[in-house]
Chains A and B, each alone.
Chain A
């Protein structure tokens, strides 16, 4: 990176951070910090945490997201909160992935999915405006997006037809994958790739298999109260109407642990302090994580994080 490119990327990053902070200040959302090194890792089989040695004590884990600590703050009575923090995920390196990356994560009490997703899209809109990139916001359901692009409702397809569809799109050994992974592949490969790129898309109501930490829809058990934001052809944010039922959450974690063992992935213990906090009572809230580096890519109009980060992962 030349000196002028370096100064350009540093300045843009500073502007993005300042704009995000003023966005939350205007809305009276409180900036917080939580530990980056936790005593537990996430069970999600698709996320591998970095393990950090601590002399002869049990190891610590670099956070893959600040979600659990932030929810514990809410349980303990914190108001609406946000955090701009580094998150870490093993093996996620590529043009649009860095194993160490920056998340803007926030939680809003009493917000529903429509409110939190709208607010996220508006933040993205404001960040893009830093370089006069003005994109409209469009809301579409996961189902309608599939219908629009593929002409069919993915959620209604049998496992067999999902496998066929994925194979047709070039997935090798599709028959070995569960529904959730097939959804991931088909949605990214066939749907997201064909959504107009010059729009900030709010895609809402994901399949229940992909609920993660979201509540299931009250009106349709096939759907989860989860949304994502896409712009420029890729994923920028992921948010939930947060699951508050400790038993159901524990059950989902238990399922993760099971899948980890089946797939030969590292064993991860369930974060019982988080489950205990949920039992104590998480206030009704919605939350979201926005990848700042991804937004930076769009604003800077470059293709690869290497052109953006002064110290890219592969060249440390």
Chain B
């Protein structure tokens, strides 16, 4: 397996630690004037998303993680897996529930997502930062009420629940920031 020396450490590098793939978020050289040098890193576990602080003795080697981030088009879900297609190779990949996780709430067919492949299989899915989804259920809109700032829950075609302003209606499409899960605006008419 390929490896990296600590002097190759930089943010974004994918490494293996205790059997899990990690990405380096931050790398700092720590060295006393007289003494051992260390690389202090923040690394994110690509399976769990947890960020941990670790320190390596400078000069040590670690295994590289076979991890790639690929833009893929979301095709469909078959009740068990979610299917994606690499638009360059037309290769299709099935991601299971663990890999898709909360991203399932924001997946709309034909949207382009970032699929993280680990040893060739989808490990995690990152939906687009903004998606447009249809409201399938919400309380009737209060026409013209754009001023009071009140909110109500709305259920989307994907099953997600978002808080929307009172004036937004069932059947409308809205724009959502998937990073915060918050309503941004009504979708522009296409």
The answer on a CB contact under 8 Å between A92 and B60 is: no
Pair count A-B, CB < 8 A: 76
Which A residue sits closest to B7, measured CB to CB? Answer: A91
The verdict on A112 contacting chain B, using a C-beta distance below 8 Å, is: no
Measured in the bound complex, the distance between the Cα atoms of B32 and A189 in whole Å is 11
A184 close to chain B: CB less than 8 A: yes
Q: What total of chain B residues lie within 8 Å of the partner, measured CB to CB?
A: 24
Q: What distance in Å separates the Cβ of B20 from its nearest Cβ neighbour in chain A?
A: 13
A227 CB to closest chain B CB (Å) equals: 12
Chain B residues touching A, majority SS: strand
In the complex the two chains form, is B32's CB within 8 Å of A188's CB?
yes
- Measured between beta carbons, the chain B residues less than 8 angstroms from A238 are 32-34
Q: B47: CB under 8 A from chain A?
A: no
B38 contacts the other chain (CB 8 A): yes
How far is A96 from B7 in the complex, measured between Cα atoms in Å? 16
A86 at the interface (CB under 8 A from B): no
Q: Please report the total number of A residues contacting B with Cβ < 8 Å.
A: 31
Q: Which of B49-57, B69-77, B106-114, B173-181 contacts A (4 or more CB under 8 A)?
A: B49-57
Q: Are B34 and A172 within 8 A (Cβ)?
A: no
Name the residue of chain A whose CB is nearest to the CB of B34: A212
| A185 in contact with B33 (CB, 8 Å) | no
- Known A93-B29, A95-B28; contact A172-B36, beta-carbon cutoff 8 A: no
- Docked Cα-Cα span, A212 to B36, in Å, equals 12
30 A-B contact pairs sorted by A residue (CB < 8 Å): A46-B34, A46-B35, A91-B37, A91-B58, A94-B29, A94-B30, A96-B29, A97-B31, A169-B55, A170-B52, A171-B55, A171-B56, A172-B54, A172-B55, A172-B60, A173-B56, A177-B36, A181-B36, A184-B35, A184-B36, A188-B30, A189-B40, A189-B55, A212-B34, A228-B33, A235-B32, A235-B33, A238-B32, A263-B59, A289-B33
